[in-house]
Structure 1
Amino acid sequence: MASFFAACPQYDVHLLDRMILEPEEKGIDIAIEYRFEADPHFTTRQLLDDEIVALASPEYVEKHQLHNIEGLRGLTLIETERRLNSWKSILADFPWVKDQPFLSMGYSLHAFEAAAQGLGVALGNRVNAQGMLAAGELCIPFDIDDSQLPPLPRYYLSIPPHKERWARVATFVEWLEKELKSEGVDCKES
């Protein structure tokens, strides 16, 4: 956001803490939503797939010799309350999941911090964890097989149709797409 504020100091930004935008909301210019499909009431662009991965501190992985999904047995699984998929849905075919210890956090960042502190194995989006992965605070101990993944939501940029041509909206969309592209993410029209 710092680069947006520097480039566009004339615009105010109001961030709301919700997962989805309701169609009747009038005061919103743009929303970034986490949902299973695009909302037909808005002009939408898919920003990111929800590429979920297991995340743990390198020390935790070494201590528990965690190299595959079976290695999670008996370890604390860290989940985010707002995540639409969970360890329980991924591990549904493993009978031991019912006996697992869980730690539930409100936000992904809190789950990542808990994992970095060695409290367990978090489930999170690879892009959202990229900074902590790059810094070596977290690692991905194993890949989750696609056959174990339930349907995954996506992150969407949603714009009320009557606002999509507004200059401030176009400016923010261009900035966001440029930022994502610099991170190797291409947005798709929905």
Structure 2
Amino acid sequence: MIKRLPPLNSLRVFESAARHLSFTRAAEELYVTQAAVSHQIKTLEEFLGLKLFKRRNRSLLLTKEGQNYFSDMKDIFSAIQEATDKLLERSEKGALTISLPPSFAIQWLVPRLADFNRQQPDIDVRIKAVDKDEGSLFDDVDVAIYYGKGHWPGLRADKLYQEFLIPLCSPLLLHGEKPLIELSDLAGHTLLHDTSRQEWKQFVKENDISGVNVNHGPIFSHSTMVLQAAAHGQGVALGNNVLAQPELASGRLVAPFDKVLMTDNAFYVVCHEKQADTGRIATFRDWMIARAKQEQEEMLDE
């Protein structure tokens, strides 16, 4: 026959109160009221049929039974803490599956993975490229990179990069037969589209550019394809500020104008709320957030 255990929450309160010999300090440690501490101690004493504390001249003392009980409880709580620490240590190692858009994987994450691997050699990263997130994480995914407005119920989402779009082209196109000097010069060039023509339509409208036919030009399903087409001189693209960085840094793409198109979208690192702050998931999240912050600060300093 299984014996009934004492209320576990009351045990936790008792351990804290006995360690501090103070209901007030126990309440502060556990983020509850002093009345709640008193209630839990009373519940435990009623369950045991014994008094565990006695008051003397504004001080709190353990009874003999309370002292013996606390001595045993200390070892039990220490064992629980040790077991928890071991579990968390193991959870900080092993495989980590990351789901993210192909373009972000190719342009941002993969080139930086060596840095993460150096810092965390015990974590094996598995990359899973997906064309579109489902707004929820499947069982085989630990962390994801989502692109959107940051509202995914039940998930922890931390912003990495706010998006803005930049007109980009090959240096050869910039200084070719039809140089790109003014925004109106776009009328003489092919526009390259990412998924739809909506972004170029918005850019042309916001900047009041006339003579530009936004209803022509190839449409690509991935941002990387658009950037590669622009780098090969096939037209002018509206490139994402994050995804275009490798081509801009290498000089394969240049920004002929100082105009940008701001959007409501951003890249977010996403995981289940309950897993966000422990183990290898927290380690990877912290690395991504810190790396993105560092690079944005460096760009502002340039």
Instruction: Return the TM-score normalized by structure 2.
Output: 0.54
* Conservation of the 8 A alpha-carbon contact between 1:84 and 1:153: no
Deviation at 1:158, TM superposition (A): 1.3
Structure 1's 85 and 178: CA in aligned 2 closer, same or farther, altered over 3 A? farther
**Structure 1, residues 33-60: CA drift from partner, whole Å, max 9, x if none?**
1113332321111110112100101110
Q: Which amino acid is the alignment partner of residue 275 of structure 2? A: K
Give 1:176's aligned residue.
288
Matches within 5 A, 1:88-103: 88-92=201-205, 94=209, 96-98=211-213, 101-103=216-218
Structure 1's 162 and 27: CA in aligned 2 closer, same or farther, altered over 3 A? farther
Q: Which has the larger radius of gyration?
A: 2
Q: Which amino acid is the alignment partner of residue 143 of structure 2? A: I
- State the Cα RMSD in Å: 2.6
Structure 2: tracts of 5 or more residues without a match: 1-112
Give 1:115's aligned residue.
230
More displaced 10-residue stretch of structure 1: 33-42 or 152-161 = 33-42
Give 2:124's aligned residue.
11
Give 2:145's aligned residue.
32
Give 1:20's aligned residue.
133
* 1-structure distance, mates of 2:279, 2:197: 33
Count of residues paired in the alignment = 182
Q: Which amino acid is the alignment partner of residue 159 of structure 1? A: C
* Conservation of the 8 A alpha-carbon contact between 2:192 and 2:237: yes
Deviation at 1:138, TM superposition (A): 0.7
Higher relative contact order (CA 8 A, sep 6+): 1
Matches within 5 A, 1:1-190: 1-6=113-118, 7-23=120-136, 25-63=138-176, 64-81=178-195, 86-92=199-205, 94=209, 96-98=211-213, 101-144=216-259, 149=261, 151-184=263-296
Deviation at 1:85, TM superposition (A): 5.4
* Conservation of the 8 A alpha-carbon contact between 2:186 and 2:212: no
Deviation at 1:156, TM superposition (A): 1.2
**Structure 1, residues 45-80: CA drift from partner, whole Å, max 9, x if none?**
111011210010111011222123322113111122
Structure 1's 15 and 75: CA in aligned 2 closer, same or farther, altered over 3 A? same
**Structure 1, residues 1-25: CA drift from partner, whole Å, max 9, x if none?**
1222343343242323133242263
Structure 1: tracts of 5 or more residues without a match: none
* Conservation of the 8 A alpha-carbon contact between 1:55 and 1:121: yes
Instruction: Return the TM-score normalized by structure 1.
Output: 0.81
Structure 2 counterpart SS, 1:73: helix
* 2-structure distance, mates of 1:99, 1:26: 42
Q: Which amino acid is the alignment partner of residue 266 of structure 2? A: R
Deviation at 1:130, TM superposition (A): 1.3
Deviation at 1:131, TM superposition (A): 1.6
Q: Which amino acid is the alignment partner of residue 254 of structure 2? A: C
Q: Once the two structures are aligned, what percentage of the paired residues are identical? A: 27
